[in-house]
Chain A
């Protein structure tokens, strides 16, 4: 069965502090992992995907198959990073399933 777990519902950090949003997955095959973000009053949108191996808005995420994790990191948080972040997995049947989400709040 496919499953995505985001253990933190809320993460609050100060501006300039490092951020790590955790994501663990369960899938027997080779998954494709994504991070989606929803800013206030905006649509859910793609932030990054593991196969791109790129940094978007200073965020990076590394797929760790041994630990079945895909944590999202940023070395210095900005106030504009405050949003809802969802980890997603595309696996069997090309289904994309989402975790419950983590709300990131960056304090000034």
Chain B
């Protein structure tokens, strides 16, 4: 089966600019996750979707971060405006029945 696809792989922006990340999960996986992984730390859950509904977004900084999952398939994560502390790898993962996670390669964001 095809894996979880993410793009772009790398992005460099200036602070206060905006950026968007895209994720295409494994076909048939109802649950989709976005994690933020800052260098030296474990992945931190930002938002979890079940089909196209939000299950948990308690750790999403909603003043600058937004995410959507249209038609219960692809998802986009947007940051506007970006801050220096947003520099991280953004990981998308999907799972069948909210169980074992399959991760994408990640999108590395550098905010200057």
A interface residue numbers (CB < 8 A to B):
4, 6, 9, 32, 34, 36, 43-46, 49, 86, 88, 90, 93-101
Secondary structure dominating the interface of A: strand
Mark out the residues of chain B between 81 and 96 whose CB falls within 8 Å of any chain A CB in the assembled complex: 91, 93
Mark out the residues of chain B between 17 and 57 whose CB falls within 8 Å of any chain A CB in the assembled complex: 31, 33, 35, 40-45, 48, 55-56
B interface residue numbers (CB < 8 A to A):
3, 31, 33, 35, 40-45, 48, 55-56, 91, 93, 98-106
How far, in angstroms, from A95 to B44 measured CA to CA in the complex? 11
How far, in angstroms, from A4 to B3 measured CA to CA in the complex? 27
Flag if B42 contacts A99 (CB, 8 Å). yes
- Shortest 8 CB-CB distances between A and B: which pairs? A94-B98, A98-B42, A44-B103, A100-B42, A98-B43, A43-B103, A101-B42, A99-B42
**Which residue from A6, A49, A97 sits with its C-beta under 8 Å from B45?**
A97
Given contacts A44-B103, A46-B101, contact A94 B55 (CB under 8 A): yes
For A9, the chain B residues whose CB sits under 8 A away are: 40
Flag if A90 contacts B99 (CB, 8 Å). yes
How far, in angstroms, from A80 to B44 measured CA to CA in the complex? 27
How far, in angstroms, from A101 to B92 measured CA to CA in the complex? 18
Given contacts A44-B91, A45-B103, A46-B100, contact A95 B45 (CB under 8 A): yes
Given contacts A93-B56, A94-B31, A94-B55, contact A100 B41 (CB under 8 A): yes
CB-nearest residue of chain B to A84: B42
CB distance from A5 to the nearest CB of B (A): 10
How far, in angstroms, from A18 to B70 measured CA to CA in the complex? 48
Given contacts A86-B43, A100-B42, A101-B42, contact A95 B105 (CB under 8 A): no
For B31, the chain A residues whose CB sits under 8 A away are: 94
For A44, the chain B residues whose CB sits under 8 A away are: 43, 91, 93, 103
CB distance from B59 to the nearest CB of A (A): 9
How far, in angstroms, from A88 to B106 measured CA to CA in the complex? 18
Flag if B43 contacts A95 (CB, 8 Å). no
How far, in angstroms, from A41 to B56 measured CA to CA in the complex? 30
